[in-house]
Amino acid sequence: MQHSLNIPEAWRASGGPSQEEQDQFIDGAIKSLSDPQQVGQFEQNVEEVGVWANEVDAAFDRVTRGFMDMVAKNGKDFPELYTFLADWKTYNARWVALLLLSRNVASEQISILQRFDKVFLDLIVTIKTDQDRLDAITELQSFIDEDHSQSGEMAQGFLNLKNDIQGFVVRFGAYVAEKGAELEQQAKTLQAEIHVLTTQIVNLDLEILAATAALLAGAEGAATLVGILGVIVAGTTLAVKIAQRFDKSIQLIQKRKELEEVNRKQKALAHLETAFNGLRPDISLICDKLVMFGEIWQSVRSQSVRFQTHLKLGMEAVHEERFNKEIELARDTCAPLQEGLAKYASKLENRA
């Protein structure tokens, strides 16, 4: 599995670092790996992964509880939340399985690094004859051909999970935005309908008052009192107008209730978005930490291929200074990696 690298601009123009820059880097790395204090820090860096594994566990738990709270409070209004919660629980289960696998892979890679250092790299540094060189080439091939696919599967599993979680964040954000737009349109439509009904009722009130006054011509002042009492005489224009007003009033009450419901959902959605935004840092923590150990075997294997290819050039190649420095650097990285991986595995040893 390859990661995209940000190549410095100067190296892009020149085709990569110069031989001198490469040699300086190797010398600097060897020097760092000969400093006990720095080696201790390197081991601690790997061990720390076990610490953040527990932090990610806690983050998953916070996100899960956050979604369960959202569903409990808003699931009736937004039933799609049940699907989001189910998806998240699936991601959590995959994380737990991959973390357990990483513990096994860490133990396997400790063994790989031990053999890489004490057997295969030792074969190279002890070459005295051409037959020793040929034997080392053969032994390296057997090492290269070993199947350690579990580490690659673990790394790919973490990468897939990271991508799925990032996709989940996008989908949930799109869902909230879509629901928000949908509710906003519903509110606008209801507000327009309420405005129309309110205007119609005001006009009907004026028409009813005018009709009542006309029917009670000569009975000065009675029109207002009769209008207040709502006295209706069947079959008259007044009765029709009053019936229309009653119907419009019922519609207005219903539309106002619908608008209240939409406003309630808008508030719930705003709370939902706020709650989810509060979970984003935890999700980011998970995504940033998922991929770690899967490439160790690939790195060891690629170095073995490189060393084997170099040995095929003959005995003169065995004594090249740059080649021997690369072997020294490879050996120096093995011990702190082994120690760090052992400490990492111990951090997870109590997991079921």
3-state secondary structure the chain: CCCCCCCCHHHHHHCCCCHHHHHHHHHHHHHHHCCHHHHHHHHHHHHHHHHHHHHHHHHHHHHHHHHHHHHHHHCCCCCHHHHHHHHHHHHHHHHHHHHHHHHHHHHHHHHHHHHHHHHHHHHHHCCCCHHHHHHHHHHHHHHHCCCCHHHHHHHHHHHHHHHHHHHHHHHHHHHHHHHHHHHHHHHHHHHHHHHHHHHHHHHHHHHHHHHHHHHCCCCCCHHHHHHHHCCCCCCCHHHHHHHHHHHHHHHHHHHHHHHHHHHHHHHHHHHHHHHHHHHHHHHHHHHHHCCCCCCHHHHHHHHHHHHHHHHCCCHHHHCCHHHHHHHHHHHHHHHHHHHHHHHHHHHCCCCC
pLDDT number for residue 192: 94
Which residue in this structure is represented by tokens 């696919």? 149
Position 2 confidence tier, pLDDT thresholds 50, 70, 90: very low
Distance in angstroms (rounded) separating the CA atoms of residues 149 and 352? 23
Least confident of 6-20, 36-50, 179-193: 6-20
For the whole prediction, is pTM greater than 0.75?
A: no
Q: What is the largest CA-CA distance in the chain?
A: 134
Q: Residues 5-17: what's their mean pLDDT? A: 58
Distance in angstroms (rounded) separating the CA atoms of residues 55 and 63? 12
Position 4 confidence tier, pLDDT thresholds 50, 70, 90: very low
Q: HSE (CB half, 13 Å, CA atoms) of 225? A: 5
pLDDT number for residue 139: 95
Q: Convert the pLDDT of each residue in 276-289 to its tens digit.
A: 777 677 766 766 76
Least confident of 94-108, 240-254, 268-282: 268-282
Position 13 confidence tier, pLDDT thresholds 50, 70, 90: low
End-to-end CA distance of the chain: 29
Residue 113 contacts residue 296 (beta carbons within 8 Å): yes
Q: Residues 192-202: what's their mean pLDDT? A: 91
Q: Residues 333-337: what's their mean pLDDT? A: 85
Position 183 confidence tier, pLDDT thresholds 50, 70, 90: confident
Q: Convert the pLDDT of each residue in 41-52 to its tens digit.
A: 767 777 777 777
* Cα Rg of the chain (Å, integer): 37
Give the Cα-Cα-Cα angle 14, 15, 20 (nearest 5 degrees): 75
Q: Is the pLDDT of residue 352 over 60?
A: no
Distance in angstroms (rounded) separating the CA atoms of residues 331 and 155? 24
Position 37 confidence tier, pLDDT thresholds 50, 70, 90: confident
Position 123 confidence tier, pLDDT thresholds 50, 70, 90: very high
pLDDT number for residue 268: 80
Residue 144 contacts residue 305 (beta carbons within 8 Å): yes
Distance in angstroms (rounded) separating the CA atoms of residues 268 and 275? 10
Average pLDDT, the chain: 80
Which one of 1-15, 212-226, 247-261, 291-305 scores highest in mean pLDDT? 247-261
Q: Is the pLDDT of residue 314 over 90?
A: yes
